[in-house]
Structure 1
């Protein structure tokens, strides 16, 4: 009986040693595999079906971990901020990975029927001022139809969705127009002789720039008005000047006559 117990304890000790050695070997193998994979990274996947062209909500996405060896830095979404104010260009089913090439910035247009039309400076298109986002512009078009030149206001008070560049790096704008006006705006960019884009709303820095031309225009008009009467209507200007003295002379003569009569009366009264 004691011999059987001794053999059992020996077998148990051998089994425990073999199990610990096997566990250590498995641990080392897993550790080596993890080092080869480079750890784990959380990425964002669809928690439910997400339709295209809709703003992504927080409850529509979740995270899952993948090995860094299979992690593609330029495609997988690893930060929540990358999903803010974005939409999917394609529908995504539940559990599918969301990548950056599926995302587009959300366009906050005033009307879903409006469209964004880009305008860039060129030989035909000229911007009189640097335009910023949320500004409004007026578009003036000049055309030459068989020798008949015409300049007119094409669009007024058009909202600017966004602008490319600032200051000297300004390179164009995107205008928000209705679906009916979008083809017209594209047409004048392609076929008009000259397109001028003017900033409609005026800020503190722009008021002085717009006021100066107005003053020069008034002074020019005043100078023209002064020069025109002297050269063209000089005789007419002299006629009222000659008539007015006559009236004053008649009044003076009428005023002096009573005085003379009074003096004669006094003299007559004094002679006796």
Structure 2
């Protein structure tokens, strides 16, 4: 009988201790959950109705407190994410801003268009570039069963860099006049290969232009009705030299 009582007391004691430990663990978990739910974080929202393609400035943005547990990665919580951005859709007062509703503003002249060069089997970006870099665009195309390679554009400014569709590749966006943009898009569809080469801007002898410099081909100059020749600077200098020698001979 004594052994039975002793076993019962031991069992009740162990049960009581386990109950206390379990209650403590449950209370700690509840406390941590309340802390997570109670912690607030500020997310960006618009103060008033905003139309699409409107530049967002501080006067149009307000910061609303949200429970951290309800904050998704797409919500904007850092003011730096709203620097130089515009909206891509119409927004109403109080709408929460997400990364999908805004994009970086591109300062593009009215007569220019942005053309993207996505790294593919046809478009090759030889060296990593960043926003503000200058690049040359080399095109290889087939003309009457012959392959011609030439520099199509020179000193083109890179205005934006995005992650490409293929892993570990980049999408380069450049700003071009409309006629050059049409030409580049044509080559993207029909050229054999397009190479994007970064321009070295370190040297003093490197000419840096804000706008692209198209490659101008020499035009033939007619000398007579049946023959065409290309006049070069060397030939002009040679002609001048021969003229001086002729005049000197006459004087003698």
Aligned residue pair count: 171
1:118 aligned counterpart, secondary structure: strand
Partner residue in 2 for 1:147 = 145
Instruction: Show the 5 A alignment for 1:30-49.
Output: 37-49=37-49
1:74-223 aligned within 5 A: 74-109=73-108, 111-163=109-161, 171=170, 173-204=172-203
For the structure 1 residues 142 and 106, does the alpha-carbon distance in structure 2 shift closer, same or farther, using more than 3 Å as the test?
same
SS at match of 1:78: coil
- Per the alignment, in what secondary structure is the counterpart of residue 87 of structure 1? strand
For the structure 1 residues 150 and 42, does the alpha-carbon distance in structure 2 shift closer, same or farther, using more than 3 Å as the test? closer
Give per-residue Cα distances to partners, 1:179-213, cap 9 Å, x unaligned. Answer: 33323212212211233334445424998xxxxxx
For structure 2, the 5+ residue unaligned runs are 1-30, 207-252
TM-score for the superposition, normalised by structure 2: 0.54
Q: Distance in 2 between matches of 1:132 and 1:65?
A: 35
SS in 2 for 1:91: coil
For the residue of structure 2 that corresponds to 1:59, the secondary structure is helix
Q: Distance in 2 between matches of 1:179 and 1:46?
A: 35
Instruction: Give 1 or 2 for the bigger CA radius of gyration.
Output: 1
Alpha-carbon shift at residue 105 of structure 1 (Å)? 1.9
Normalized per residue, the structure richer in helix is: 1
For the pair 1:54 / 2:54, whether they are aligned, the reply is yes
1:172 Cα offset (Å): 5.1
Q: Quote the Cα distance in structure 2 between the aligned partners of 1:36 and 1:201.
A: 51
CA distance in 2, matches of 1:126, 1:179: 23
Contact 1:130 1:170 in 2 (8 A): no
Shift, 1:125, TM fit: 3.3
CA deviations on 1:16-57 (whole Å, 9 max, x unpaired) are xxxxxxxxxxxxxxx9xx769424433332112222212211
Note the C-alpha offset of 1:59. 0.8
TM-score by length of 1: 0.51
CA distance in 2, matches of 1:138, 1:104: 27
**Alpha-carbon separation, structure 1, partners of 2:44 and 2:125:** 43
Q: Give 1:148 shift.
A: 4.0
Residues 140, 194 of structure 2: 8 Å contact kept = yes
Which range is displaced more, 53-62 or 183-192? 183-192
In 2, the alpha carbon distance for the partners of 1:52 and 1:159 equals 27
State the alpha-carbon separation in 2 of the partners of residues 99 and 86 from structure 1: 12
Residue 48 of structure 2 aligns to a residue whose secondary structure is coil
Structure 1 or 2: larger strand share?
2
Instruction: Report the CA distance shift for 1:80/1:162 in structure 2 as closer, same or farther (over 3 A).
Output: closer
